[in-house]
Structure 1
Amino acid sequence: MEPQKINKGDRNKIYFLVIVIVALIGTNAYLFFKDRQQSQKFVTVSTEKDKLRLEVEKIEVELDKVNALNLDLNDKLVEEQKLAREKIKELKVSLEKNQITQGEIDKANVQINELKTFVKNYNDQIIQLQKDNIFLKNSRDSLESSLKSISSKNSNLESENSNLNAKVKTAAALKLQTAEIIAFRTKSSGKKIEVTKSSTAEKLSVRFNIIPNELAEKGHHNIYLRVFDPAGNLLADEGNRFEAEGQEMQFSHSIFINYNNDESTYVIDWANPKPFIKGIYTVILYADGITMGKAQVDLK
């Protein structure tokens, strides 16, 4: 049987079908690879977004760490952090978009790198601020310690000076060398008559000498008397007050004497506002706030 001959028209159809099949295969291959590239590109973009989000979160954590230190930031640092957080907020919004171009990814990368540089410099400033604060604290503590030491020394010096002044004052005090008291009355002629009976006594006369003292101040000194009756009652007016031995006291009488560190004898006459009674009268003398000494007289 003879093989059938394929005419020219059928051959052309076959060629056309082959070309169509090849074209379809090529188109399918192109679409397959294109879809694969797009899928890979989507995966790449998504991965980039996740990486960028992580970087932004790291930057934000670094800024939060600064705030946790509770440092007293200056206005410049506060303003710089505020601007950085605004940029972080913008980046977060941009990275949350469902579709984002590679150009936007690249721009976000640039901004994040700028933020990284900023945070590094910012942290360097914070570290320096901490060092400065530590230095200032140590300096302040050292100064406070020095001030306490100086204050303690001053207190000790004041105490020593006070003790020294007290010793000097005591050493310079006027003290009685001899003292005697006599009672007397005055006759109509003006003549003073010494008496020993309380019924005839009108006044007490205190005669005394002062121990020579080169440290004592020469010149006028106010001498105070306190007179006690035999019952121990102070004989003084309410308004007569002075300070001695660290307290306020009432006095019976006072006079000025001119002290010259010599053998002078001083006399103080005191009139009793009440009638004298039998018994021992005691007179205590004071000068410059210190007790000079005392004397007594026994009236019959």
Structure 2
Amino acid sequence: MDNQNPQTPAKKSNLIYFLIVVVLALLGTNAYLYFQKNKSDEKLVYQINDDNKTLVKTQTTLKASLDSLTNQLDSANSGKHRVSQELQAKDQELKAKITQLRKALASGNLTASELRSAQEDIKQLRYFVTKYTADIEELKQQNASLTTERDTLKTNLATVNQKATTLQQQNQELNTKVQTAAAIKTSSVAITAYKIKNSGKEVDVTRASTAKKIKVNFTVTTNELATKGLHDIYLRIIDPTGNLVTSGDSGNFTINGQDLQYTYKSSIDFKNDGSGYTIDWVSPAAFQKGTYSVLLYADGYQMGKSSFNLR
């Protein structure tokens, strides 16, 4: 008994030291776990903040992409080109998809997964918009080519029409020249007034009071272009006061496209031999003192003229 008592305090002392070490070890372990937990929580906070920033950045990028696609569509549709119904339907489809994605992004409640899905949609949308833009550009080029061809055809047609008009004018001028050249002309015209005696004999006079008729004597110039045969001759007799003398034999005829009234109409047999001709005209009224003018027309042109004076 006496030998065991001295060892009891030593055993107790060792036990106390052991317990102290254990407590210190536990305290150290707790401290280590505490600090590690704080670091983990801080890292988690940073990760959450970074994820939020990434989501916001992604949404901003997607909105910018949609703006770019919208501008691309607007640019493709600018101008007055006509597109097919198929392209019009594709344009409406693309715009509807863009509107749908805008609404989704505007809500601000998209998850990371939904944003990734939106990114894929925009990627496909960009492909379709690019193809649509290329189709529109090709259509513009085709329209430009067709416009050029149309303008070229118009220019060519205008040139052809101008040439045709010029040829027609030249033909008309040539025909006019031919007709003018083919018309018979007088080389001389002489007019004499006559009175008629009771015996029927004609006597030339110079007094208006005794004159009853006139004889228009003219010679027709030879003309190889003129048609041989009968030609109508129109007389226009202008009295001293400047008025056309008319009678029951008067009528209308056309000269150079102008409608005129004649005093008397007759005809001659043109033989292209320089023959002379005479046309008698009896006045339906008494002659006036003064100078009368006599104009002869044939084949649509004036063939000669002369005058005579009565006292």
**TM interval, short-chain normalised:** 0.7 to 0.9
User: Contact between 2:194 and 2:212, CA under 8 Å: does it hold in 1?
Assistant: yes
Structure 2 CA distance for partners of 1:121 and 1:207, relative to 1, 3 Å:
same
CA distance in 2, matches of 1:28, 1:83: 52
Give the one of 283, 287, 293 matched to 2:294: 283
Q: 1:61-104 deviations in whole A, cap 9, x for unaligned? A: 11122233343333332221111111001111111223212221
1:170 CA drift (Å): 1.6
Aligned match of 1:176:
186
Structure 2 residue identity aligned to 1:88: I
1:248 CA drift (Å): 3.3
1:108 CA drift (Å): 0.8
Aligned match of 2:139:
129
Matches within 5 A, 1:8-157: 28-157=38-167
Matches within 5 A, 1:111-260: 111-187=121-197, 191-196=200-205, 197-236=207-246, 240-260=251-271
CA distance in 1, matches of 2:227, 2:33: 135
User: Contact between 1:182 and 1:194, CA under 8 Å: does it hold in 2?
Assistant: no
Percent identity (aligned):
32
Structure 1 residue identity aligned to 2:91: Q
Structure 2 CA distance for partners of 1:32 and 1:258, relative to 1, 3 Å:
same
CA distance in 2, matches of 1:156, 1:253: 39
**Aligned residue pairs, count:** 299
Comparing 23-32 with 44-53, greater Cα deviation is found at: 23-32
TM-score scaled to structure 1, two decimals? Answer: 0.84
1:174 CA drift (Å): 0.8
CA distance in 1, matches of 2:102, 2:95: 10
1:269 CA drift (Å): 2.0
Q: 1:46-72 deviations in whole A, cap 9, x for unaligned? A: 222221111111111111222333433
Structure 2 CA distance for partners of 1:25 and 1:279, relative to 1, 3 Å:
closer
Structure 2 residue identity aligned to 1:193: E
RMSD across aligned C-alpha pairs, in angstroms?
Answer: 3.2
1:202 CA drift (Å): 1.5
User: Contact between 2:239 and 2:291, CA under 8 Å: does it hold in 1?
Assistant: yes
User: Contact between 1:184 and 1:201, CA under 8 Å: does it hold in 2?
Assistant: yes
